[in-house]
Structures are given as structure tokens and as C-alpha cells.
Structure 1
Amino acid sequence: MISFSDAQLNAWLIGFIWPLTRILGLLMVTPVFGHRAVPARVKIGLGIFITLIVSPTLPPMPGVGLGSWHGLFILVQQFLIGLAIGFIMRVVFAAVEAAGEIVGLQMGLGFASFFDPQSAGQTLVLSRFFNMLAVLVFLAVNAHLLLLGVLVDSFQSLPISPQPLSTAGFHNVAAFGTTVFAVGLQLALPLIAILLMTNLALGILTRSAPQLNIFAIGFPITLGVGLIVLDITLPYFAPQFEQLIQNGIKASAMVIQTLRPQ
């Protein structure tokens, strides 16, 4: 008859539950994996599959009971680490969507919006288009595999332990949020400049010919110029998205280093 002691069962459980919690924290918020269209069963199944592969290579676990207060504290820590890694890449996609919002409003497409299940709100059509383009670039450069690689390496650089995490890592995660506004404006700047010159030309035309109905001709001209410039500049967006995604992966690795206990 095969029998197991409480210590053996606890060792097997903590060697599986704690890594799984960190992995599920990442899969819950990271782009593509964390989309609401992906069923929860798929996310949990993928997390279990990755954990079964990674768990034999992990450093020794701390000798803490899974149901103790220290065990629950470690569980929460692992979840926060996974969230921090995935949130960095979520900020990258938020910057791309912000660029689409800015461009859409400048082109006069503020009315062209629909319900986005991911954000549970109204999203401009150009913002959604930029997001889809960023997802294609994300998959084309295998950034989803690189992000999983960063997560697996985090178990070596930031092993599971009962020591509290450094607050500097969470500060870096919050500071990276400024990328949403800075990068979003940089991506939209060429279109903003062209549309600004178009609006200035329309203003001069209105002053020189007051009988023209600026509201009747201004909207189609602005929209047409915006679509033409978007078509011309679209090939240059993909390299920018790729660079932004690579910066996000580097930032995720840096956050892991700064989360290490002092």
C-alpha cells in the first residue's frame, strides 16, 4: 500500500500551486492570452501545461505550509509578480490604442466607435485597427514566446521565497505607465502635423471665401487627407510597434530585477 506523509503532500502542492499562480497572473492580463475572447478553461489549461514543464527546473521551495499565513502571503506575491510582468505589455498596447484614439479624433472619426469587449467600453475604429495591427506584430515577432521566456527566467532571478518584494519594482511598473501618453503621441505625430496643416489651409480658405460652407467641405477633406496619409505612413507603423514591444519585454525583465528583496 502506497502512503504519503503530510510533508510530502505539502512539498508537491507548493511546488505546483505557487508557480501556477505566477503563470496565471501573467496569462490573465497579458495581450492575446488575456483577451476576454479566450475562454478561462484555455487559460487555466495553458497555465497548468506550462507549470508542469517548468516546475521540475525550479529552485527548492521554502519550507512553508501552503495553508499557513506565510503560505498565503507567498501565494499573493506570486500573483502580483505575474500581474506586474503582464501589465508592462498591456501598457504597450494601451499606448498603441491611445495613438489610434488621437488620430481618429483628429480625422473626425470620433463618431465611428463600437463596443470593445476587452475594455468593456466604446472604442474608436482606428484605435481598434491599431490594436489589431499591434497584435499581428506581437505574434509575428514571437513576442508571446519571448514574454513566456521572461516569465520562466523570473523563477531563477526572482525565486519563490517568503521575503517581501521590493517596492521599487512596483514603482517602475507605475512609471512605465507614462509610455501610454508619450509613445501614443509620438506614433500619432505625423498624422497630427498633416491634419493640422489641412485645418490651417481650410481656415485660410474660409477667410478668403466666406461664402463657402466650411462644415460641408471641411469634414470630407479632413477625412480624405487623413486616410491618404494613413495609407502612406502605415508601412512605417509596424517597425515602431515592434520596437515598442521589444522595449516592453526589456522593461518586464528590468521590473523582475527591481522586485527582488533587498
Structure 2
Amino acid sequence: MNSILEVLPYFLLVLIRFTSFFLIAPIFSMKGMPNQFKIGLGVFIALIAVSTLPAEEPIVLDAYYTFMVIKEIGVGLALGFTAALLLYAVQVAGAFIDFQMGFAIANVIDPQTGAQVPIIGHFKYMMALLFMLTVNGHHMLLDGVMHSLRLFPVETMTFAFEAGDLSSFISALFVQMFTIALQIALPIVGALFLVDVALGILAKTVPQLNIFAVGFPVKIFTGFVLLLLTMPIFFYLLQFLFEKIMMSMAQLVKIMGGT
């Protein structure tokens, strides 16, 4: 009984880090996933973490324990936000494509967040989630959080990062998100731009042609054909995106732990 009471504070802190991660991380934060499953998965993984990564220092339930709980909530949310932000690059890429195809005025409701998102962006995001499940990306996310327990243990009370390091990391994260979004959208956006140029030349050479009645169907048809043709490139770029997610999560943990 005494050993269980000694391990319980450490177990609760690990559980809080994982459940906080589930609140915002891709796949795990979807509304279609029952909360009972999230809590059960967190408890199961916390039990494994406690048995394989014992606490280096004993943790007691005192006044500082509340601050440790708040710290673990922040760490879990930060890791989940890092993974979600980079994956949202797929939606940003879809927004670029929608704007060029003429779908920018039409949005759909994202069942995960309840917000309005672009049509092509939502389609690409669902394909990215499906590809992540196919390549066991959800396992890599859980492994990233488990690895954070080694680099930044829950019994560590203080953060070792400087404000400049954290701000530089966040700025670089946003730059990487838009860079990846441009890489995903550039083949289709560039081809549709050439279609616009061709339609402009056609409007000048054949003034009698109603270019507005012809241009929109042509751009939509061309956009869908290019989406089909560039699908292998999209999945190829997703591999680098998932690697970037894991690297960013590890970098964030190193910044917070000062290692």
C-alpha cells in the first residue's frame, strides 16, 4: 500500500501530460473519439510509463504539487499544439488551392473543431489523417510524448528555457508551416495560374467569347485533374511533414528541459 501511495503522485502527473496532449493533438482530439477512450488510453500509457520510467526523485502531495499539475498541463498542450500546427499546413495548402480554383467563398464545417474550413483543405486534411493512421503516425505521436518523459521528467519543477529561445522556436514553427503549405499547393496553384494566363490571352484574342462563363468550369475541371495527378506528390511530402512533427516535438522538449 505504501508503494502504491508513493507512485500515485507520479502516475497522476504522467496521466495529466498525456490527457492534455490528447486535447489538441491530431487524431486524438477529434470529437468522434469518445472521452472514455481517451482517458482509458491515457491511464494505460501512464501505467506503462510508470513501470518503465520510474521517478528519479520521490514526489509528495504538497503545496508545490498544484504547480506541477499546471506545468504538466502546459507541457501536454504545448506538445499537442506543435503537432497540430504543423499538420494544419495541409489545410493552409488547401486554402491556397481553393482560392485559385474559385472555391474560396465556399466552406464546410470541420467536425473536429466545429469551425468553417476550405473544401479542398478539409479534403486534404482528412487524407493526411488517413495516411497518418496508415503509417502508424499516431504511434509516433505517443512515442514522442513518452520520449518527453525522459528529456523533461515530470518531477522537474522549473523550466530551463529562455524567452528568446521559445519565441525563436515558435516563429520558426510558423515559418515551417507556411513553407510546407506552399510546397504542397505550389504545383496546383502554379498550373492554375498558367490557366489564368491562357484565359487572359484568349479573352484578348477572341473578345466575343464570354470568358467568365468558360473560365470557371475550366479552372475547376483543371483543378480536380491536378489534384488527382499530384496525389502521389502529396503523400510523398506528408512523409517529410510527419518527420518534421516529431523533430519539432523533440526540439520543444529540449528547449523546455534545457538539454
Normalising to structure 1: TM-score of the pair? Answer: 0.90
Q: Aligned with 1:243: secondary structure?
A: helix
Unaligned runs of 5+ in 2: none
Aligned 1:44-193 pairs, distance under 5 A: 44-60=39-55, 62-68=57-63, 70-168=64-162, 170-171=166-167, 172-173=169-170, 175-193=172-190
- Residues 84-112 of structure 1 show CA distances to partners (whole Å, capped at 9, x for unaligned) of 22222101221011001110111112244
2:87 alignment partner AA: F
Rounded Cα–Cα distance in structure 2 between residues aligned with 1:43 and 1:257: 26
Cα offset for 1:174? 5.0
Residue 31, structure 1, aligned to residue 26, structure 2? yes
Please give the alpha-carbon distance, in whole angstroms, between the structure 2 residues aligned to 1:256 and 1:198: 46
**Alignment of 1:12 onto 2:12:** no
Distance 2:231 2:206 in 1: 35
Cα distance, 1:42 vs. partner?
A: 1.4
Report Cα offsets for 1:179-213 as digits up to 9, x if no partner: 22221112101111111111011111111122211
Question: Is the alpha carbon distance of 1:162 and 1:251 closer, same or farther for their aligned partners in structure 2, counting shifts above 3 Å?
Answer: closer
- The one-letter code matched in structure 1 to 2:47 is L
* Cα RMSD after superposing both structures: 2.0
**Counterpart amino acid of residue 252 in structure 2:** V
After superposition, the C-alpha distances for 1:96-152 in whole angstroms (9 at most, x for unaligned) are 110011101111122442111223221122111101111122112212111211211
Deviation at 1:249, TM superposition (A): 0.6
Give the letter for the 1:193 counterpart: G
Distance, in Å, in 1 between the alignment partners of 2:147 and 2:156 is: 19
Question: After TM superposition, what 4+ stretches of structure 1 lie above 4 angstroms from structure 2?
Answer: 61-64
Give secondary structure in 2 for the equivalent of 1:167.
coil
- Name the CA distance, whole Å, in 2 between partners of 1:122 and 1:245: 25
For residue 105 of structure 1, what is the amino acid of its counterpart?
F
CA drift at 1:22: 0.7
- Paired letter, 1:16: F
Residue identity (%): 31
Paired with 1:162 and 1:259, the residues of 2 have a C-alpha distance of 10
238, 242, 255: which is aligned to 1:245?
242
Residues 1:206 and 2:200 are matched in the alignment: no
Maintained 8 Å contact 2:199/2:211: yes
User: What secondary structure is seen at the aligned counterpart in 2 of 1:34?
Assistant: coil
Q: Say which SS state the counterpart of residue 48 (structure 1) adopts.
A: helix
Report the number of matched residues: 256
- Please tell me whether the aligned partners of residues 161 and 257 of structure 2 are also in contact (alpha carbons under 8 angstroms): no
In the alignment, structure 1 segments of 5+ residues that lack a partner are none
The letter of the residue matching 1:94 is Y
Mapped pair 1:219 → 2:213: no
